[in-house]
Structure 1
Amino acid sequence: MARATARAASAAARLRFAQGALAVWTAAALTLAASQVLAATPPGTDPHPGDGRGERTVNEWLARMQDASRVRSYVGTFVVSSGNGAMSSARIWHACDGRRQFERIESLSGERRSTFRRDDEVLTFLPQTHTVRRERRESLGEFPEPLKPDESPIPEFYAARRVGSDRVAGFETDVVQVVPKDNLRYGYRIWSEQKTGLMVKQQTLDENGGVLEQAAFSELQINAPVSIERLSQMMAVPAGWRVEKPQAAKTTAAAEGWGLKASVAGFKPMNCYKRPDEGVLQWIFSDGLASVSLFIEDFDRERHVQEGVFASGATHTLTRRVQDWWVTVVGEVPPQTLQAFAAALERRR
């Protein structure tokens, strides 16, 4: 159960708000961290004024991209591809007014589904089963809260520099390289639209610079006339459809009897959730850009038979038995990072 849950959570961590079908907007994990800087930056303000694009710090680059996503409306077709050949796509409508955020995603590949977000409220419509999955973004547990500005580890573990320019979906962009300072995290290459700062393409890179996963707009309209009111109306649940509300009770690892013998450099605990309907505890960590989830459940010798590390694009999954429990560790990080978490996890009561 935890491994299936972990796979779903891993996909959701790469989404801006949806769970499951499509890894839309892989770069969300990056722009989340930028909100640490934006806490003191009014919307629409470039935190590093002037044209010295190559002089911005990693936080300043990310802040500019996050700022653009908060104040810009846009419509586009988004494509996610991984090094193993897997590919998925979706149509995205994003509307905002600087305060409220609305989004709609229509899958263009795989299972038919429509996902809507209104601030922290998320609805996923599954037409084949006439089912709507209603969740709160915080309750998902796969999209960690940003760290406080004075606790941000990003500059300690990442550096950023402008490495050139390019055209993506018809827009002139700055190409920014985000480089990790150790082997516990991946690097990123980001294409940021020059006028607005909006992120239009992102690659996750391995230690040799190879592309593990890519997410990009193939077609994009910035400042598109997307109606918040229309998107809100489309979130109404049709008559006769079943509404599911997954349960996730907020808790702490200590309260559930778990802890780490040693911390993993740069990763701080963000949230912890108990999922009674699945019998799973989820403990979430973040270094400000990458996130890791630990899923813990009772060991079942009939279901939990394969230990090891599994890869899907930039996402790695580690499964291991720990005494009477089964542990699944998932994140868009190198395998050694998951192994460090698994080795540090301990039962304290």
Structure 2
Amino acid sequence: MNFKFFRLLALMGCALSAPHYVAAQTPAPAAPAQAAETKDINEWLMRMHEASRNRSYVGTFVVSSGNALSSAKIWHVCDGTQQMERVEALTGPPRSTFRHNDQVVTFMPEQKLIRAEKRESLGLFPALLKSTGSQIGDFYQARQEGRERVAGVDADVIALVPKDAMRFGYRVWAEQKKGLVVKLQTLDIDGKVLEQAAFSELQFDAPVKIEKLAQMMNKVDGYKVERPALVKTTASAEGWALKQAVAGFTPMSCHKRPRGAQGGEAPMQWVFSDGLASVSIFVEPFDGQRHVKESRMSLGATQSLTRRVEAYWLTVMGEVPMTTLSLFADGLERKK
């Protein structure tokens, strides 16, 4: 199961801790009509968010991105404060991922390897709700588009429409009773579907126990356990800055990963979000053997570009149009 699958799984069902959102600036007071529109989209998003605190389920999850198709079995349980999840890959190499709040443990049986890490940059289900700030309504509007059935579940269909060409749109199918997201499409600026993620079968109130999943998560005998080290930092402390903020996108986190035995300067990841979409800036020392050609790539909704900046190699990646990534790449500058 590849990175693409887990990115979309994060959008629909990961049980990770939500980061605190700090607005880049205080927006001007909204006109009455604008205030009502903002409240409307926030109400939809909060309803989807809260659904995860009240629903346990077992389901089969399918992601379609470009020509790639991935699927997994999901066991999800929560009690309002604790969230636990098991994701079993049904396509690709065997792999099981357990999430307990912000702790993530991935079992790779073919390599007899376990990767254990803490992920702070993703939000509670659904990760569409990366913030609770009203700024989302400044850049998106919500529009109900009817009702449909998905995996035997009656769902409201909601379009999250961007107000500019700097971000993609979304179409969300939310369970009518409590708002759990059962299907998600990411749309380009022309309304074309770039990616789709949906449950093909879903059983609510399944007999899933947090204690049972926790026991499975902690059964590491016979495996080598890796714990990738992430160090919190700031872009400023690492000598980087954006010349100008990209409209709507706020810094959410910044980490660096030690190079270990290789030594040298640690790679940095700087994450931004507008509340729905996210963009990551990766910076590492330039390596003439690995960093050969600057590139632009698209895989479903995920766009990426690479380029050299002085003695560094820059990779910008996100679920936004390429023009938005270019604004980040062009605006990054070395301060020391």
Deviation readout 1:278-321 (Å, 9 max, x if unpaired): 73110010101101000001111221112121000100011011
Q: Partner of 2:186 in structure 1?
A: 204
Q: For the structure 1 residues 119 and 147, does the alpha-carbon distance in structure 2 shift closer, same or farther, using more than 3 Å as the test?
A: closer
The whole-number CA distance in structure 2 between the counterparts of 1:55 and 1:342 is 30
Residue type of the partner of 1:182?
D
- 1:95-114 maps to which residues of 2 (within 5 A)? 95-114=77-96
Q: Partner of 1:299 in structure 2?
A: 286
The whole-number CA distance in structure 2 between the counterparts of 1:203 and 1:326 is 32
Deviation readout 1:315-341 (Å, 9 max, x if unpaired): 001101111111000001110110000
Q: Partner of 1:3 in structure 2?
A: none
Equivalent pairs, count:
311
- 1:213-292 maps to which residues of 2 (within 5 A)? 213-277=195-259, 279-292=266-279
Q: Does 1:325 align with 2:308?
A: no
User: Are the counterparts in 2 of residues 24 and 79 from structure 1 also a CA contact under 8 Å?
Assistant: no
Q: For the structure 1 residues 183 and 335, does the alpha-carbon distance in structure 2 shift closer, same or farther, using more than 3 Å as the test?
A: same
Runs of 5+ consecutive residues of structure 2 not aligned to the other structure: 22-36, 261-265
Deviation readout 1:21-42 (Å, 9 max, x if unpaired): xx4253369x998998xxxxxx
Runs of 5+ consecutive residues of structure 1 not aligned to the other structure: 1-6, 15-22, 37-53
With structure 1 as the length reference, what TM-score do the two structures score?
A: 0.84
The whole-number CA distance in structure 2 between the counterparts of 1:77 and 1:124 is 18
User: Are the counterparts in 1 of residues 5 and 63 from structure 2 also a CA contact under 8 Å?
Assistant: no
Selected match of 1:132 from 107, 114, 118: 114
The whole-number CA distance in structure 2 between the counterparts of 1:318 and 1:223 is 43
Identity of aligned residues (%): 55
Deviation readout 1:209-264 (Å, 9 max, x if unpaired): 11000000000011212111111111123322100000110000000000000000
Kindly state the Cα deviation for residue 194 of structure 1 after the two structures are TM-superposed.
Answer: 0.6
User: Are the counterparts in 2 of residues 188 and 202 from structure 1 also a CA contact under 8 Å?
Assistant: yes
Selected match of 2:41 from 58, 61, 74: 58
User: Are the counterparts in 2 of residues 32 and 288 from structure 1 also a CA contact under 8 Å?
Assistant: no
User: Are the counterparts in 1 of residues 60 and 202 from structure 2 also a CA contact under 8 Å?
Assistant: yes
Q: For the structure 1 residues 269 and 246, does the alpha-carbon distance in structure 2 shift closer, same or farther, using more than 3 Å as the test?
A: same
- 1:69-218 maps to which residues of 2 (within 5 A)? 69-82=52-65, 84-138=66-120, 141=121, 149=132, 151-218=133-200
With structure 2 as the length reference, what TM-score do the two structures score?
A: 0.87
Backbone CA RMSD of aligned residues:
2.5
The whole-number CA distance in structure 2 between the counterparts of 1:55 and 1:280 is 38
Q: For the structure 1 residues 25 and 294, does the alpha-carbon distance in structure 2 shift closer, same or farther, using more than 3 Å as the test?
A: closer
Q: For the structure 1 residues 321 and 220, does the alpha-carbon distance in structure 2 shift closer, same or farther, using more than 3 Å as the test?
A: same
Q: Does 1:337 align with 2:324?
A: yes
Kindly state the Cα deviation for residue 70 of structure 1 after the two structures are TM-superposed.
Answer: 1.9
Q: For the structure 1 residues 248 and 25, does the alpha-carbon distance in structure 2 shift closer, same or farther, using more than 3 Å as the test?
A: closer
The whole-number CA distance in structure 1 between the counterparts of 2:94 and 2:278 is 28
The whole-number CA distance in structure 1 between the counterparts of 2:108 and 2:149 is 36
Q: Partner of 1:42 in structure 2?
A: none
Q: For the structure 1 residues 32 and 102, does the alpha-carbon distance in structure 2 shift closer, same or farther, using more than 3 Å as the test?
A: closer
The whole-number CA distance in structure 1 between the counterparts of 2:172 and 2:112 is 38
4+ residue segments displaced more than 4 Å: 31-36, 141-149
Q: Secondary structure at the match of 1:309?
A: strand
Q: Secondary structure at the match of 1:225?
A: coil
Residue type of the partner of 1:67?
E
User: Are the counterparts in 2 of residues 166 and 175 from structure 1 also a CA contact under 8 Å?
Assistant: yes
